[in-house]
Amino acid sequence: MKFKDWMENKTFRRIFKVIIVLAILFILSFFLRLANVYPINQYQKQFERDSNGVINGTETIYLKGTNNKAIVMIHGLTDSPANLRNLAEFFNQRGYSVYVPLLPGHGTTVQDLNNKKYSDWYRAASNAYEDADEKEKYLFGYSLGGLLALDIASRNDVDKVITLNAPIELKSDYVPFIPFVKLFEDYQTKGEISINKLKELGFSVPYNAIPLNSVSELLKGISKLELGNVEEPILIIQGIDDDVVDRDSAIEIYDEVNSKEKKLLFLEDSSHQIISNEKDNYYSILNFITS
């Protein structure tokens, strides 16, 4: 049968049209993905790295204390331990050992993060907690780190837990559309930050994009979290003006955990990244731990 004859067949014409549409979508997806990742790659080339490919300034923090008490601090998604350095030093100056592990996929490349699972982050955070051999051990987690701290506490005996802007409900409108968006791009760009500005921030947020796969993995972690298994004393801190995590997350955590001692602290004029009156809040955490 000649091609002309095939084209006169209605069924074949429908199939042919579908193939053409799929081919166009495939080509469009290919070029959109290239356009999506190119500026990310150019941006990442600027960083100085160690022999393992870790960006200088984002490495794991360990500060040895003197009082046989330890705090394991867990950073947020696309962040690094540098984001928690000031808090770590505050507690270390007061005798505490502080462990701040670099979570898998962080401090390297966005592509590396794209390949990591929630289980990878949990394993790294859990191992850091288990490796601390002090008599008393506390957990602090920011954002994704707060979710991990809750997860660890739900499966292990922890002395006390502190969360900051831990996600249970996200504010982002695009979350339900991630499966569709992933057809055309792998990353949501956040805008570039100059190297000089990053140095001022202590390389706390070295990535200029977030993998959509990572958001999906975060949601998996939330869906599997058993808040009812958390029985440890807990301090739940939430920024009122958080533009990433819905403030109702803190209320849900408070209502669902089975801790006999639980406190909820809302921070005025505080977003997801920017915490007002930082030093005062450090003392709030210290008072909770020592009470």
pLDDT tens digit sequence for 178-203 = 776 676 678 877 655 555 555 555 54
Tens digit of pLDDT for each residue in 48-97?
889 999 998 899 999 999 999 999 999 999 999 998 999 999 999 999 99
- Of the candidates 236, 246, 252, the residue with the CA atom closest to the CA atom of residue 272: 246
How far from each other are the two terminal CA atoms of the chain, in whole angstroms? 86
pLDDT of residue 203: 47
User: CB atoms < 10 A from the CB of 49, how many?
Assistant: 14
Residue-wise DSSP of 17-44: HHHHHHHHHHHHHHHHHHHHHHHHHHHH
Pairing assessment for the beta strands 160-164 and 234-239 based on DSSP bridges: parallel
Tens digit of pLDDT for each residue in 235-285?
999 999 888 899 999 999 999 999 999 999 999 888 777 776 778 889 999
Tens digit of pLDDT for each residue in 96-120?
999 999 999 999 999 999 999 999 9
